[in-house]
Amino acid sequence: MKTLPKYPLLLVVSLILIYSAGFSQNIVDSNTVDIKHIAKQIIKNAGTCALITLDSEGTPRARAMDPFPVEDNFEIWFGTNPNSRKVDQIKNDPRVTLYYLDNDASGYVVISGIATLVDDQKQKNKYWKDEWNSFYPDKSHSYLLIKVTPLWLEVLSPPNNIYNDTLTWEPPVYLFK
């Protein structure tokens, strides 16, 4: 008669890990795949994004935004009303998060960064969309820029073979210097 192993739970867990290791998704090495390039593609395809700020009580506040194309250094610019809640929230705490969902919902990019309010007319002329004329009738006073300087980004994109960690579900992260 065969006896059961002394530690049956350990055996079961070991078998599951051995079995799943052969079938788990590969974690993409940032040296193998250009995560920043794929992130830019997702950002471009998404068009809009969610800008998440923190209110005076530390509660996250999200809103849809129409950003300008991402810069080479991953700075992202937005236009807004200087009297909006987001402006007061950024003045109080400049830490923000941007969330871009790929247009086919297959992946996403999250950017954590520091927001800066920019009221320079030359920059406001550079970052302007003619379709905004009705929203900002006086560009010099009713229009303000938000510049987000990234600290880090994370990307999930199964079509591009960028998967999250199978145990923690953490996606690959790129840290800006």
Mean pLDDT by 10 residues, the chain (177 residues): 41 32 37 81 96 97 97 97 98 98 95 98 96 92 97 96 95 94
Residue 35 lies in a domain: yes
Residue 19 lies in a domain: no
**How much is the pTM?**
0.81
Instruction: Quote the number of domains for the chain.
Output: 1
Residue 118 lies in a domain: yes
Residue 101 lies in a domain: yes
Residue 113 lies in a domain: yes
CATH number for the domain harbouring residue 36:
2.30.110.10
Residue whose C-alpha is closest to residue 83's, from 119, 128, 40: 119
Residue 33's pLDDT is 57
Residue 145 lies in a domain: yes
| Segments forming the whole domain that contains residue 103 | 30-175
Tokens 């960690």 — which residue? 165
Residue 177's pLDDT is 82
Contact 111, 148 (CB under 8 A): yes
Phi-psi region of 115 (alpha: psi -120 to 50; beta: other; left: phi over 0): beta
Residue 8 lies in a domain: no
Q: Is 112 exposed, middle or buried (0-12, 13-18, 19+ CB in 10 A)?
A: middle
